[in-house]
A and B are shown apart, each in its own frame.
Chain A
């Protein structure tokens, strides 16, 4: 299997827009604002020389830019006093309702949309160590469950699990298999052969969703979609399904394109949030 790409796509730096009509810009301030934006890169601290090199300016200009940002509280010196790091004044951008949304809250609106399309159960699950746990449920009548009876489900043993597992790095998948063999059987159709699991991972990556025929709950069919961040790491999975007499294979496959449209919108918003790290070897609570 090919390792998944985890690098983030290119970002537009400030000050790069083509000049538009309007009053002239303050060029020195444009440089300062561009300098501040440099602290959003992977590198968290800068010395003056490397900062000058990053921005393509002289050391003197870099020193003045950092001095201004230091004076304004947007950067601070690190513990050595020689390097500069992002300052906490940036918190002002989170005031007045500009704060972030958690992925769990973000998913609710889309889960209701999926329930209206399917008239089935819709659940949101997250990875926790080598398992998946369900933390939100909307029932076929559109009610958000007051009680979620979460049971840790191994990352191979349900479509939600595999929707998450498939979007981990290959090394993490192999670590999971190494730590989990023999793969636990939950129903007669649970995947327990590591080779079949690897094949399933390839299929889920290609299709963008995972299917489960009674492999987690006897008598029920489910389809699960991953919820991913900008780098393709999984936040969790949204699963739609119900009793096989009602949520038949035919009905499920007929609705998958509509589910996929909703999930595309959800993932567009989810990409703005970073997925939490996953510690495969850690036990679930």
Chain B
């Protein structure tokens, strides 16, 4: 953490404006920005102009509202590029999406959250697609469980303590689910007929620890006879990616693994599957 003497306090409200534009459900106007952040309108205009001139926000082409501009896309692209596993996995994800006809995702752990690094839509109707960049508590879906089940034991215990402390679920139930995932080698959620199920397989390093997971999500998983073929394609993709990782293991380290998971806070999407 920077000390008061090393940071630039006047930038704080600029970043507040940027965050509001980034997270608002609809593009906000200058007045809405000023109201929401309790800023004088002249201050809001100055902040907006600073962000516009710097290429972070732009005025909507047909209104006086503000949207994110190209520099934010460059930054998200740079962030995703930090996860080398994403680049190595994209072809395989597309292949699985072609084989299963369902939406296929790549998930890594970021702190105690599952972070969706890539989503490839299938041909079948898309049910509740998972946007790239979305996050959820690791036990909140099959893709997170497939990672969580293959973390080192001590780390799983710390995760359960975090769940208990923040009242996010029932640790014993999660523990039982993890044992099941470990035994079968994959995670499956909502396998009821016609429900949008999710089937996830971990991508593991040579020590057996999960680095990520590939998940297929869609209604066809509700038909039991479809599952073996889908599972086979996901497992094949995971093994291929593991083969690529083994060539250069250092390149595929999670870039945020050195941070304490307890210090990472991400917005959480509703529970999935």
A203 within 8 A of B: no
The digit string for A25-37, where 1 denotes a CB below 8 A from any CB of B, is 1101110111011
Chain A residues with CB under 8 A of B24: 96
In the assembly, what is the distance between CA of A65 and CA of B12, in Å? Answer: 12
Q: Does A14 contact B (CB under 8 A)?
A: yes
The count of residues in chain A whose C-beta lies closer than 8 Å to any C-beta of chain B is 75
Is residue B155 within 8 Å, beta carbon to beta carbon, of the partner chain?
A: no
Contacts of B240 in A (CB 8 A): 282, 285
Whether a CB of chain A sits under 8 angstroms from the CB of B65 is no
B7 at interface (Cβ–Cβ under 8 A)? yes
Question: Could you say which of A22, A126, A136 contacts B49, with CB atoms under 8 Å apart?
Answer: A22
CB distance A26 to B98 under 8 Å?
A: no
Please tell me which stretch of A183-191, A242-250, A271-279 contacts chain B, meaning at least 4 of its Cβ atoms lie within 8 angstroms of it: A271-279
Please name the residue on chain B nearest to A276 by beta carbon: B90
Q: Which of A245-285 contact B (CB under 8 A)?
A: 272, 274, 276-279, 282, 285
Q: Which of A25, A44, A65, A71 contacts B46 (CB 8 A)?
A: A25
Query: For residue A7, which residues in chain B have a CB less than 8 angstroms away from its CB?
Result: none
B87 touching A276, Cβ below 8 Å: yes
Which of chain B's residues 219-259 have a Cβ closer than 8 Å to chain A? 233, 236-237, 240, 243-244, 255-256, 258-259
Partner of B236, one of A12, A24, A86, A285: A285
B residues within 8 A CB of A44?
78, 82
A2 contacts chain B at the CB level, 8 A cutoff: no
Known: A135-B98, A274-B81. Contact between A24 and B46, CB under 8 A? yes
B64 contacts the other chain (CB 8 A): no
B94 surroundings in chain A (CB, below 8 A)? 102-104, 126, 135
In B81-98, the 8 Å CB interface with A consists of 81-82, 87-92, 94-95, 97-98
Are A25 and B49 closer than 8 Å at their CB atoms?
A: yes
B163 at the interface (CB under 8 A from A): no
In the complex formed, the residue of B with least CB distance to A145 is B123
From A39, A76, A126, A135, B78 is in contact (CB under 8 Å) with A39
State whether B75 touches A40 (Cβ < 8 A): yes
Binds B, one of A87-95, A154-162, A193-201, A211-219: A87-95
Minimal beta-carbon separation of A108 from chain B (angstroms): 9
Q: Indicate if the CB atoms of B118 and A102 lie closer than 8 Å.
A: yes
A220-234 toward B: CB 8 Å interface, digit per residue (1/0)?
Answer: 000000000000000
The answer to the question of B133 belonging to the interface, with a C-beta cut-off of 8 Å to chain A, is yes
Given contacts A96-B24, A276-B90, contact A23 B49 (CB under 8 A): yes
CB distance from B30 to the nearest CB of A (A): 10
Q: Does A146 contact B (CB under 8 A)?
A: yes
Interface centre among A34, A72, A127 (most CB of B within 10 A): A72
* Distance between Cα atoms of A22 and B101 in the complex (Å): 51
| Residue in chain B with minimal CB distance to A91 | B133
B6 engages A64 (CB within 8 Å): yes
- Taking a contact as CB atoms closer than 8 A, the residue among B42, B77, B258 that contacts A274 in the complex is B77
A135→B56 CA distance, assembly (Å): 36
List residues of chain A with CB within 8 A of the CB of B72: 93, 98
Chain B residues lying within 8 Å of A102, measured Cβ to Cβ, are: 90, 94, 118-121
Asked whether B88 lies within 8 Å of A65 as measured between CB atoms, the reply is no
Chain B residues with Cβ below 8 Å from A272 are 73
Give residues of chain A (100-128) contacting chain B, Cβ–Cβ below 8 Å: 100, 102-105, 126-128
- Report yes or no: B2 in contact with A68, Cβ–Cβ below 8 A: yes
Contacts of A24 in B (CB 8 A): 46, 49
> Which residues 122-157 in B have Cβ within 8 Å of A in the complex?
123-124, 131-135
Question: How far, in whole Å, are A102 and B82 apart by their CA atoms in the complex?
Answer: 18
- In angstroms, Cα B124 to Cα A136, docked, is 12
Note all chain A residues with C-beta closer than 8 A to B87: 274, 276-277
A25 to B51, CA, bound (A): 8
Contact of B3 with A by CB under 8 A: yes
A133 within 8 A of B: yes
Asked if A68 and B11 sit within 8 Å, CB to CB, the answer is yes
Given known pairs A68-B8, A70-B1, the reply for A135 and B95 (CB within 8 Å) is yes
- Report the bound CA distance from A36 to B72 in whole Å: 10
Q: Is the CB of B88 within 8 A of A277?
A: yes
Asked if B23 is at the interface of the complex by the 8 Å CB criterion, the answer is: yes
With A22-B49, A39-B75, A285-B240 already in contact, the answer to whether A15 and B11 are too (CB < 8 A) is: no
- Residues of B contacting A99 with CB < 8 Å? 119, 131-134
Q: Answer whether residue B45 sits at the interface, using C-beta atoms and an 8 A cutoff.
A: yes
Q: Please provide the 6 A-B residue pairs with the shortest distance between their CB atoms, ordered closest to farther.
A: A94-B133, A67-B6, A67-B2, A135-B98, A14-B54, A79-B258
Can you list 21 pairs linking A and B with CB atoms under 8 Å apart? A19-B53, A25-B46, A29-B8, A32-B14, A37-B75, A63-B6, A64-B8, A67-B7, A68-B8, A71-B2, A72-B12, A74-B15, A76-B256, A86-B75, A86-B79, A88-B110, A93-B75, A98-B72, A100-B77, A104-B97, A274-B87
- Extra 17 A-B pairs, beta carbons < 8 Å, given A67-B6, A79-B258, A99-B119: A15-B54, A15-B55, A20-B53, A28-B11, A29-B47, A33-B50, A37-B75, A40-B77, A88-B79, A98-B68, A98-B72, A104-B121, A128-B92, A134-B98, A146-B124, A276-B88, A285-B233
